[in-house]
Amino acid sequence: MDYSKLSDGEISIRLAYFLKPKYSATIHPYDQAAAQLSWNWFNTVQTTGYFPLRRAEELFPVMKKHRIGLNPSGKTVWQASHESGISATHRNPLRAVAIVYLLLQESANVPANSTGSDLR
């Protein structure tokens, strides 16, 4: 999937799907670049904001765990890369890291023989 065409809010929702699986995520009603997480607590719906593309403390632990590197690629551009060869470049370094993480999750969910051919 081409994550560079998605909005920040859509990327935040996809990150919440993998990083916050207990919550239901929608685009934040007041900030289109964020996600709103909601959960049921004593028969009432509670909500909170989730800003992974703006707050480094929400995405850096994932970056460390999955060994995603971040390097300047120019004066205003950052490149995030993984040792598997997956990389992304963007002005927002957190968005570049998020795209690499989503591509890693996408490649982990693809079966080894996705062409459907039988090797027997």
Q: What is the CATH number of the domain that holds 40?
A: 3.30.2120
Over its C-alpha atoms, the chain yields an Rg (Å, rounded) of 16
In a domain, 31, yes or no: yes
Q: 80-108, pLDDT tens digit by residue?
A: 999 999 999 999 999 999 999 999 998 88
CA distance 109 to 69: 22
In a domain, 42, yes or no: yes
Q: What is the pLDDT of residue 31?
A: 87
- Compute the C-alpha angle 25/82/112, nearest 5°: 80
Q: What is the mean pLDDT of the chain?
A: 89
In a domain, 76, yes or no: yes
**CA atoms lying within 13 Å on the CB side of residue 2:** 2
Token representation of residue 33: 């670049």
What is the chain's length?
120
| Domain span holding position 68 | 3-108
The total number of structural domains in the chain stands at 1
Token representation of residue 22: 């207990």
pTM score: 0.85
